[in-house]
Structure formats: C-alpha cells, structure tokens
Amino acid sequence: MPVVSSLISSNIKKSPQDKVVTVAGGCFWGLEYIYKMHFKDRIVDTQVGFANGNLANPTYKEVCQGLTYHAEVLQIAYNPEVISYKELIDFFFLVHDPTQDDGQGPDIGTQYRSAVFYLDEEEKEIAEQSLAETQKKWFPHHEIVTQVEKLTSYWDAEDYHQEYLIKNADGYHCPTHVLRTEPKAISV
C-alpha cells in the first residue's frame, strides 16, 4: 500500500487545539534536541522528517545523497495558549546559523538548508517579520539566507531518528546548534 504525504506528521501527538510549526536548520537531530531541552513541557511533541522534496516517501539515505531536494525538518506541536508561533520562530533563528547557505557547519547540502515552512499567510507573515527583526538585531553584517516557503509535503524520518540525541547522548551534534547570546561578529 503506498504511503501518502501529508503536511503534518501522523505520528506527532497533539490535541485539536494544538498547532504545528515546521523548521529546517541543519541536521534534524540537533534541532530537535535543542528545542526539547529549551522548551521542555512548553511544547507538546516533536517529530523529525523530510519536507518539500521531489520524491515520495524518501529514506534518510536518499535524502542524504542530496538529489531529492528535501530538507531535514523538525515539526513541533504546540499549544498556542502556552507558547506562540512567533516565539518558536524567533528561537529558531538563534539556534542555528541562518546566514550559511545550503548547510550548517560541516553539514553541506540542500537537505541541511535553513528554512521556515508555513501553512498559511499568517504564519508566512510572522516568519518574515521574525527574519527581518533577527537580521537587524542579531546579524546586522551578514545576510540571512533562510527560505520562507510554503509546506507542500512532509514525510516522517525513520523511527531511529526520532529523539535521536536523547536516546544517543554521544551522538553527533552540529556545532551551529547553540543558543546565540550576542550578534554574529563581523568576519575579517
């Protein structure tokens, strides 16, 4: 039986009032870990997977070859009465390097690109506003290259990728997945 793409993971635990944000910022292991460690019970659930590529139901191996144009993404279920979409997006811009094109740290390829995937015009506007504010405050001397794009497809990654760094504390951590506390310095 063929697997059909949806925009939201069928495995993410959420209530009807909960919403889901989808972001890409390098290896999804580190992105998921930093959100879970920072927000703890303020977020409902997470799921990692692949978004907006040109192959149905891709595997991690296929995506890593860089030919499917999927992004490794994190989906975060949240209750908008507890935390806002904007707070989650503002945080996203501070926990990876949004000025690095097609990669994060040593992880290079379109699958590691920086992107915010929106579901509707309101999310798009908030993401663009957050990007502009972040550009001015945190990256005044570097151009943010994060793509703000409509979410057109989503596929869950294999089970062993879910909560990978929680289950494998010694696993690979991308060096760009840290919470920024000051603006990015001018390159010399």
Q: Which residues are catalytic?
A: 27
**Distance, CA of 46 to CA of 74 (rounded, Å):** 7
At 149, list the tokens.
């794009």
**Distance, CA of 132 to CA of 126 (rounded, Å):** 10
**Distance, CA of 86 to CA of 130 (rounded, Å):** 7
Where would I find the H helices in the chain? 28-39, 60-64, 85-94, 121-138, 164-167
At 124, list the tokens.
């798009």
Q: At what angle do helices 28-39 and 85-94 cross, to 10 degrees?
A: 120
At 76, list the tokens.
């975060």
CB-based burial, 120-145: b 16+ in 10 Å, e otherwise: eeebbebbeebbeebbeebbeebebe
Neighbours of 70 (CB within 10 A): 27
